[in-house]
Amino acid sequence: MNIAIIGTGYVGLVTGACFAEVGYHVICVDCDARKIEHLQHGESPIYEPGLDDLVKRNAQAGRLRFTTSTQEAVEQSEVIFIAVPTPPLPDGGVDLSYIESVAREIAAHLDGYRIVVDKSTVPVRTAEKVAETIKRYGRNPIDIDVVSNPEFLREGFAVEDLMKPDRIVIGVGSDRPVAAMKAIYAPFDAPLIVTDTNSAELIKHAANSFLALKISYANALSAICEAAHADVKAVTQGMGLDRRIGTQFLNAGLGFGGSCFPKDLSAFIKISEQLGYDFRLLKEVQQINADQMRRFVKKITHALWVLKEKRIGVLGLAFKQNTDDIRTSPSLELCRQLLREGATLRVHDPKAMEKARVVLPEATFVEDANLVAEGCDALVIATEWPEFTRVDYAQARRTMRTPILFDGRNLLDPVEMKSLGFIYHSVGR
């Protein structure tokens, strides 16, 4: 099977590399010539565990190619995946201009039947629009099926999630593309749902919004636990062990960030509004997320009183562990607020330092996590990197001006930190 993937971002590149790994011939297309040149030299533009090896191995085996030519990809493939960005608009809606322009490009080069698959996260009814657009702009009589096949990859676990998915969703307008789509996913052992395109598109927004809702629920509980002198970790564990609820995505902390949840929530609220439904529940999810950051900053200012000229160490800059992605990172939002109040920052992240340097030029970047606390009035854990549980906190405490620790991800044991001499603050405990 020959497969084209248009767009080599997180989703497109990981999908292409994993499809090649199971034996398909994959052509990845991107309009960014520099990116394609790097990929042709076996250099992956993003940090994602396992991805570099997959790209190199499959490129060497001749199963994975990179090009800037959509024409080449369309002509040489039976199935074309669209994995281009769908960024947010100022009103919370979704900018579909990249999708539309790819649809027109595909139309310009079609020379026979193709299956066109939407992998990007898109509003409900986009597959219908893509089909209409391709038909309208095609020069020859057009014979296509447009399929919606949303991705559910977590950054930092994208290869693992693609190779071992919880489920595969295939949204179709007719039965014709079902056999080919099932064949593509046959090597990936997972339940497969075949439905209409609109339902498939809704599944993605519904799933991400529900996960964000779980996090906001835990964060709301954390506020109650603080007021009631209870432990949110115990409460969420006790809840989560009920199999109907589940323990995952119930970690209270600084709130959710990243390139998906904030954007997908706003989009789903907007889409619902356009469909005549006021999704107040999701508006509250956003509100709780914003409040959580405010409450955390208040905790810091309450303990340090004046932030001007205070030196604060920050462990973690990425929006979560296992990634170098800093887009909509709660940690960066926190850093900016602390800087605005006049604090000076010493920061560290295992993977995101290079990207963060560009957006936080005022901060001092420290290569060794163990040295971040030196001379600081407070140390903050802002990202849930497991590495931060292994910092030498006894030594860190000795080098601090005042030993105040704010654990924004509930990574550490409060009793142990207090026994090391820290004034220890966490979230909901």
For ligand UDX, the binding residues (CB under 6 A) are 151-155, 208, 211, 215, 249-251, 253, 256-258, 260-261, 319-320, 384
Q: Is-contact 113 144, C-beta < 8 A?
A: yes
| DSSP class of 124 | T
Q: To the nearest whole angstrom, how small is the minimum distance from the Cβ of residue 16 to ligand UDX? A: 16
Can you give the three-state secondary structure of 288-324, one letter per residue?
HHHHHHHHHHHHHHHHHCCCCCCEEEEECCCCCCCCC
Q: To the nearest whole angstrom, how small is the minimum distance from the Cβ of residue 384 to ligand UDX? A: 6
Q: Which helix (H) or strand (E) holds 158?
A: helix 158-163
Of 215 and 235, nearer to ligand UDX (C-beta) is: 215
Of 114 and 204, nearer to ligand UDX (C-beta) is: 204
**260 catalytic per annotation:** yes
Q: To the nearest whole angstrom, how small is the minimum distance from the Cβ of residue 154 to ligand UDX? A: 4
106: left (phi over 0), alpha (psi -120 to 50) or beta: alpha
Q: To the nearest whole angstrom, how small is the minimum distance from the Cβ of residue 54 to ligand UDX? A: 18
Of 30 and 384, nearer to ligand UDX (C-beta) is: 384
Say how far apart CA 22 and CA 304 lie, in whole Å.
55
Say how far apart CA 216 and CA 222 lie, in whole Å.
9
Q: To the nearest whole angstrom, how small is the minimum distance from the Cβ of residue 123 to ligand UDX? A: 16
Helix, strand, or coil here: 394? helix
Q: To the nearest whole angstrom, how small is the minimum distance from the Cβ of residue 266 to ligand UDX? A: 14
Of 235 and 260, nearer to ligand UDX (C-beta) is: 260
Structure tokens that stand for 167 in this block: 């489920």
Helix, strand, or coil here: 345? strand
Catalytic member of 18, 28, 225, 260: 260
Of 133 and 329, nearer to ligand UDX (C-beta) is: 329
Say how far apart CA 308 and CA 310 lie, in whole Å.
5
Of 193 and 394, nearer to ligand UDX (C-beta) is: 193
Structure tokens that stand for 203 in this block: 């599944």
Q: To the nearest whole angstrom, how small is the minimum distance from the Cβ of residue 255 to ligand UDX? A: 6
Say how far apart CA 354 and CA 159 lie, in whole Å.
23
**Packing angle between helix 197-228 and helix 280-304, nearest 10 degrees?**
40
Residues 6+ apart with CB under 8 A from 81: 3, 4, 5, 6, 12, 15, 117, 119, 149
Radius of gyration for the chain, computed over Cα atoms and rounded to the nearest angstrom? 23
Of 257 and 403, nearer to ligand UDX (C-beta) is: 257
Which amino acid would we find at residue 154? R
What residues are labeled active site? 260
